[in-house]
Amino acid sequence: MCGIVGYCGPRQASDVLLRGLARLEYRGYDSAGMTVLGDEGITTLRRVGKLHHLAEAVAAEPPTGTIGIGHTRWATHGRPTEENAHPHADCTGSVAVVHNGIIENYLDLREELGASGHVLRSETDTETVSHLVESYYEGSISYAVARAVKRLHGSYALAVMHADEPGTIVVARQDSPLIVGVGEGESIIASDIPVVLEYTREVLVLEDGDVATVTAGGVVVHGADGAVREPERMHVEWDLEAAEKGGFETFMLKEIHEQPSAIRNTLRGRMGADGAIQLSELAMTEAEIAAIERIVIIACGTSYHAGVIAKTLIEQWARIPVEVDVSSEFRYRDPIVDARTLVVAITQSGETADTLAGVREARQSGAKAFAVTNVVGSRVTRESDGVIYTHAGPEIGVAATKTFTAQAAALMVLALKLAQAKGTLERERVESLWEEISRIPEIVEAILGSSGDIEACAREYTGVASSLFLGRGIGVPVAMEGALKLKEISYIHAEAYPAGEMKHGPIALITDDVPVVVVATQGHTYEKVVSNMQEVRARGAHVIAVATFGDDEICKHAEHVLYVPRTSEAVSAIPAVVPLQLLAYHIAALRGCNVDQPRNLAKSVTVE
Ligand code: AGP
C-alpha cells in the first residue's frame, strides 16, 4: 500500500522525507514523490519507479525548506506514471496532497470539480482532494481540509500543505493508518512506526474522523465531531534496529530468526501462578465463554492458515465447533452468526480491508468479535470487542513469518483458555500442554541453529516450475503455509493439499519435475502420510519430508529430510513450518528474487 511521510521542524525536510520513505519501501510501491515548502515557495518532485530515482532528482535540484510531505504510491486508480504520482496539487499549485486509501466517490467529485472550472491533470482519485481543499480554502488549511474530507467516501490517510501556511501540515484519517511522532521541536507524520523511530519514541495514534493540525511545536487534533480531543499517546519500545536488518541480508531472514523471541514475547505472562491461563483481553466471563456455541475465524493469506491451526486446537481442547473462512468470502456470504458465536479475526497488520469488513459484519449480526493482531493502534483494534496482541515486533518483509508463528502461539493460548473455561481439559493436562508450548521458542532456536542443510536442499529445486505440499491433520495448514511462502517469494507455483486428497485428482500432476514437500512429523496419521509419500515416489516424484528427529525410517521415502525436534502433535505446527519458511527463502534467494518485496504484493492489503 501507499506510504506517507511528513515533517515539520528544524531539519531539511527533503532529507527526512527520503529517509522516511525508505523505511516504508516494504509496503510495495511503483512511484514516489515529495513536496517541500521553503523560502522559494512550494517545490514538488515526483518520479516513477524505485525511490532512488526520486533521490537522484532531489540531489540534482535540492528543494530547500524545513516542512514537507512525501509519498510512495502503490497504484489503485491510474497507471504508475509521474503524472499520477503524489503529491497532487490544485489548480493554483498552492495545495499539495498525499494520500493512502481509496476515494470511492472520486468520479462524482471529478465531475463536480470539472464543472466548476477545476482542471484535473491526473487519473487519480487523490487529485480530487487537492481541488476540494482549494475550493474550500479561505485562509485556513485546517478548515479547508476539514470541509473537504466530509465530501469523501472511502478510505484515506491524508497529509496536506498550503503555500501560504509554511509551518503547517494538516492530516486526516479514515480507515487507513496514520501516526504522528512528537519530537523535540519537530513532528514526523508517517503511515507506520519505523519511520519515526530515529527521531522520537512518542507517537500519537490518530482515530478515524480525526483532522490534525501538525506543526513543529505539536499537534492539535479535532475529532470526527469537530471538537478538540486528546489523541492516544504511545511510547514505542521498538528501536530502529528492530526495523533494520540486523546483520541479515534481508528482513525476511532476520524475521525468521526472530521467531523464538516473537513466540516467547507472545506467550509471556500467559500462565498465572494459580495455573489459570491469563487472557484478560478476552473480557468474557467463564459463563459467557461457556455459552459460546461456535467460533468463526476470519482471516486472509497466512493469517488464514493460522486460523486453520486454531480450529484443530480449539476443537481438540475446548470441544467448540470452529469454522475458518477467508474474510473476502465471509463478508459477502450473509454469514450465520449471532450472540452465541465468537468471531476471531486474525490479521497481523490489523488493516486488511476484507478482515475489517468481516469484523463489522459479524458485530452487526450480534456476535462478539476479537482480533488477533501484531500492530498496536491498528484499525482492527478499534473495530473489535477485544484484542489479543502478538508481540512479534515490526515485520517488514512482505512474506509473513514471525507474525505467523506468533499468531499460532497466541491461538494456542486462546484454545487453552477456552478449554479451561469450558472445563474440557483437566488442570494437569493444561499444565503439561503449557509446559510444552513454553518450550517452543527453544525448539525453534534449535531448528534455526541446525538449518544449514536446507540451503543445499533448496539448490536442487530452484529450476522447478511447480510443486505440491502435503500434510494431514495439523500438517495441512503447515503445508498450506509452506506452499504460500514458496509461491509468493520465489514465484514457483505451489499448491497444498490434504495428503489423502491426492488420489482424487492431484496425483495426476506427479512427474519427476514436480517436487512434493510432505509434512511427516509424528502424529496419529503418520503411517498414512508415509503411504502417500510412497504413492508419489512410485510415480517419479522427488520428496522433501519434514520429519521428527529419531525417525530413521522416513529417509527411505524421501530424497531430503528436514528434521525437527519431537513434540506432541498438537503443538507440532510451529516447529514444522520453520524448515518450510527457510526452504522457500533459500529457493527464492538462489533465484535472485526480491525476497523482502515480492512482485505485485504489498505488506498490508488495505483495499479490497
Ligand atoms: C503472507 O505472507 C502474505 N503477506 C499475505 O498472505 C498476508 O498473510 C495476508 O495479506 C493477510 O495479512 P494480515 O495478516 O495483515 O491481515
| Ligand 1 atom index nearest CA of 407 | 14
Task: Return the residue whose CA atom lies nearest to atom 3 of ligand 1.
Answer: 399
d(CA 366, CA 368): 7
d(CA 577, CA 406): 12
Q: Classify the C-alpha dihedral 545-551-552-557 as positive or negative.
A: negative
Return the closest-CA partner of residue 97 out of 145, 54, 49.
145
Q: Classify the C-alpha dihedral 434-435-438-439 as positive or negative.
A: negative
Instruction: Answer with the residue of higher pLDDT: 526 or 394.
Output: 526
Task: Return the residue whose CA atom lies nearest to atom 6 of ligand 1.
Answer: 301
**Do 119 and 91 touch, CB atoms closer than 8 A?**
yes
Q: Classify the C-alpha dihedral 9-176-73-400 as positive or negative.
A: positive
* β partners of residue 41: 38
d(CA 7, CA 395): 24
Looking at the chain, the whole-number percentage of residues with pLDDT higher than 70 is 97
**pLDDT at res. 27:** 63
Judged by DSSP in three states, 480 sits in helix
Return the closest-CA partner of residue 51 out of 40, 42, 59, 63.
59
**pLDDT at res. 105:** 86
Of the listed ranges 66-70, 73-77, 262-266, the least confidently predicted one is 73-77
Task: Return the residue whose CA atom lies nearest to atom 15 of ligand 1.
Answer: 349
Q: Where are the beta strands (DSSP E) in 398-533?
A: 466-471, 493-498, 516-519
Cα(40) to centroid(ligand 1), Å = 44
Whether the pLDDT of residue 243 is over 70: the answer is no
Task: Return the residue whose CA atom lies nearest to atom 4 of ligand 1.
Answer: 399
- 442-474 pLDDT, tens digit per residue, is 999 999 998 889 999 999 999 999 999 999 999
Sheet holding 211-215, edge to edge: 88-89, 95-103, 154-162, 169-174, 211-215, 218-222, 228-229
Torsion-angle region of residue 506: left (phi > 0), alpha (psi -120 to 50) or beta? alpha
| Ligand 1 atom index nearest CA of 327 | 16
- 535-561 pLDDT, tens digit per residue, is 999 999 999 999 999 999 999 999 999
Given pLDDT bands bounded at 50, 70 and 90, which one contains residue 246? low
- 72-128 pLDDT, tens digit per residue, is 987 656 777 899 999 999 999 999 999 998 787 899 999 999 999 999 999 999 999
> Which mutation among 327, 605, 606, 608 tests ligand 1's pocket best, with the greatest number of atoms within 8 A of CB?
605
At residue 9, what are phi and psi to the nearest 5 degrees? 165, -155
Whether the pLDDT of residue 358 is over 90: the answer is yes
Grid coordinates belonging to 490:
520465489
Task: Return the residue whose CA atom lies nearest to atom 7 of ligand 1.
Answer: 301
Cα(405) to centroid(ligand 1), Å = 13
Reply yes or no: is the peptide bond before residue 87 cis, omega within 30 of 0: yes
Grid coordinates belonging to 237:
519500545
d(CA 46, CA 6): 15
Grid coordinates belonging to 107:
468520479
| Ligand 1 atom index nearest CA of 355 | 16
d(CA 501, CA 507): 9
Instruction: Answer with the residue of higher pLDDT: 125 or 301.
Output: 301
Element (H, E) at 271: none
d(CA 438, CA 433): 9
Task: Return the residue whose CA atom lies nearest to atom 13 of ligand 1.
Answer: 347
**pLDDT at res. 271:** 87
* Number of C-beta neighbours around residue 60 at 10 A: 8
Whether the pLDDT of residue 247 is over 60: the answer is no
Q: What is the DSSP letter of 25?
A: G
Mean pLDDT for all residues in the chain: 93
383 to 103, 229, 379, 541: CA distances (angstroms) = 21, 19, 7, 47
Active site residue 2: yes
* Number of C-beta neighbours around residue 116 at 10 A: 9
Looking at the chain, the whole-number percentage of residues with pLDDT higher than 90 is 80
d(CA 453, CA 444): 16
d(CA 384, CA 345): 9
Of the listed ranges 151-155, 494-498, 593-597, the least confidently predicted one is 151-155
Task: Return the residue whose CA atom lies nearest to atom 9 of ligand 1.
Answer: 301
pTM of the model: 0.70
Given pLDDT bands bounded at 50, 70 and 90, which one contains residue 395? confident
d(CA 177, CA 193): 10
Whether the pLDDT of residue 347 is over 70: the answer is yes
Q: Which residues line ligand 1 (CB under 6 A)?
A: 300-303, 347-349, 352, 355, 398-400, 488, 604-605
d(CA 200, CA 187): 9
Return the closest-CA partner of residue 1 out of 41, 30, 22, 23.
30
Query: If you compute the radius of gyration of the chain from its CA atoms, what whole number of angstroms results?
Result: 25
- 538's CB contacts (< 8 A; 6+ apart) are none
Given pLDDT bands bounded at 50, 70 and 90, which one contains residue 265? confident
125 to 48, 154, 227, 469: CA distances (angstroms) = 18, 11, 28, 41
**pLDDT at res. 109:** 96
**pLDDT at res. 366:** 93
Residue with cell 506432541: 568
Which whole number is the average pLDDT over 46-65?
96
**pLDDT at res. 281:** 83
| Ligand 1 atom index nearest CA of 373 | 14
d(CA 428, CA 434): 10
Q: Classify the C-alpha dihedral 227-5-38-88 as positive or negative.
A: negative
Given pLDDT bands bounded at 50, 70 and 90, which one contains residue 477? very high
Given pLDDT bands bounded at 50, 70 and 90, which one contains residue 594? very high
- 473's CB contacts (< 8 A; 6+ apart) are 312, 523, 524, 525, 569
Chain-centroid distance of CA 91 in Å reads: 37
Cα(306) to centroid(ligand 1), Å = 11
The active-site residue, picked from 254, 402, 485, 603, is: 603
Q: Classify the C-alpha dihedral 8-11-13-17 as positive or negative.
A: negative
| Ligand 1 atom index nearest CA of 349 | 15
> Which mutation among 302, 328, 373 tests ligand 1's pocket best, with the greatest number of atoms within 8 A of CB?
302
Judged by DSSP in three states, 45 sits in strand
Torsion-angle region of residue 6: left (phi > 0), alpha (psi -120 to 50) or beta? beta
Cα(330) to centroid(ligand 1), Å = 16
Grid coordinates belonging to 122:
491526473
Cα(21) to centroid(ligand 1), Å = 22
Cα(568) to centroid(ligand 1), Å = 28
Cα(178) to centroid(ligand 1), Å = 20
How many CA atoms does the CB half-sphere of 596 hold within 13 Å? 20
Whether the pLDDT of residue 244 is over 60: the answer is no
Whether the pLDDT of residue 28 is over 80: the answer is no
